[in-house]
Amino acid sequence: MLLVPCPYCGPRNSSDLRHVGEAISRPDPNAASPEQWRSYLYLRDNVADWNVETWYCTRGCRKYFKVERNTATNEFRDPPMPGNKIGGKA
């Protein structure tokens, strides 16, 4: 159960939120080419690294917010729970 840093409520269990997906911007609907529009619909960076994404605080403040998460480690930037870091030799 991730601890998601909601900027309004504070750290919350991920079950209280909904992961919306990678933060994407909407092309101009009247000017976009099919390639641009369908990139917007279907293509995602899907990196195994830091990524900006949108969450919705369903059970809490009901705000959409953007947050940076490392999809390889599930660590949030400036995490609400310090100390998850894994270091070198014990």
Q: Site for other proteins (CB under 8 A): which residue of 26, 50, 52, 77?
A: 26
50, 52, 60, 68: residue in contact with other proteins (rule CB under 8 A): 60
For residue 53, the surrounding DSSP H or E stretch is strand 50-56
Number of residues that bind other proteins (CB under 8 A): 62
CB atoms within 10 A of CB 12: 22
C-alpha 88/C-alpha 83 separation (Å) is 14
The Cβ of residue 17 has, within 10 Å, a number of other Cβ atoms equal to 21
- Binding residues for other proteins, per CB under 8 A? 1-3, 5, 8-11, 13-16, 18-22, 26, 29-30, 32, 34-35, 37-48, 53-54, 56, 58-64, 69, 71-74, 79-90
